[in-house]
Structure 1
Amino acid sequence: MSDVIDYASRLTDAHSRKFETFSYLPRMTAEQIRRQVEYIVSKGWNPAIEHSEPEEASGAYWYMWKLPMFGETNVDQILNEAQLCHNQNPNNHVRLVGYDNFKQSQGASMVIYRAPGFE
């Protein structure tokens, strides 16, 4: 069996918390975020932007940034909304969600902007 790495993620240390699979990886570049949005659009999922204070981000409730963008296929418009959310909430984590209408669940969810000091 291979060695398993312990990621020191603790509820008592907000700076150590991880959110979804991508949070264990280095911060995504603008091009990588764009590709994720393109993937969500290509699957026909409805994109949505959410944000939360770092100390509350491990909970199930995140603030919705406007309504989900039902039927939106313009990648630039989706990225602009994510940037607006980040600009208006610079101390919050911002995540991108892709809602799958068929399965009635999230098809994708990832933090695309991390709050300062939480890299």
Structure 2
Amino acid sequence: MSQVQDYPSSLSDPTSRKLGTFSYLPPMTDDELRRQVEYIIEKGWNPAIEHSEPENAHMYFWYMWKLPMFGETDVDRVLAEAEACHKAHPNNHVRLIGYDNYAQSQGAAMTVYRATPR
């Protein structure tokens, strides 16, 4: 049996916190992120961008960046919105959501930019 790795984190250290499943993996490359957006679009899910301060990232509700991109099929446009959100809020984490209309829930959620350290 393999060893289970411990990921120490604490409320007092926002940089130590994990933000979902993908945060336990190395950061995604641009190509890997593009493939995730392609997957969200192929599933027919609506992309949306959210952001939050690192100290509040453990909360359920993040700030919505504009409205969800209902029916968007252009991967570059989704990536551009995520980048625009990051540039507008460099001290916040930015995540990409894929809303599944049929399940009435998130089909995917991943942090695509971590806050720029102060």
Q: TM-score range by the shorter chain?
A: over 0.9
**1-structure distance, mates of 2:99, 2:90:** 24
Query: Match of 2:84?
Result: 84
Instruction: State the TM-score, normalized to the length of structure 1.
Output: 0.94
Deviations 1:70-107 (A, max 9, x none): 00011111111111101101111000000000000000
Structure 1 segments, 4+ long, off by >6 Å, are none
Query: Match of 1:17?
Result: 17
Instruction: State the TM-score, normalized to the length of structure 2.
Output: 0.95
For structure 1, the 5+ residue unaligned runs are none
Deviations 1:38-77 (A, max 9, x none): 0000000000000000110011110000000000011111
| Residue identity (%) | 67
Secondary structure of 2:22 counterpart: helix
**1-structure distance, mates of 2:97, 2:7:** 24
Q: Superposed, which structure 2 residues align to 1:1-119 within 5 Å? A: 1-117=1-117
**2-structure distance, mates of 1:13, 1:79:** 29
**2-structure distance, mates of 1:76, 1:62:** 23
Secondary structure of 1:111 counterpart: strand
Secondary structure of 1:78 counterpart: helix
**2-structure distance, mates of 1:5, 1:20:** 16
Q: Which residue identity is paired with 2:42?
A: S
For structure 2, the 5+ residue unaligned runs are none
**2-structure distance, mates of 1:78, 1:14:** 27
**2-structure distance, mates of 1:45, 1:57:** 23
Aligned length in residues: 118
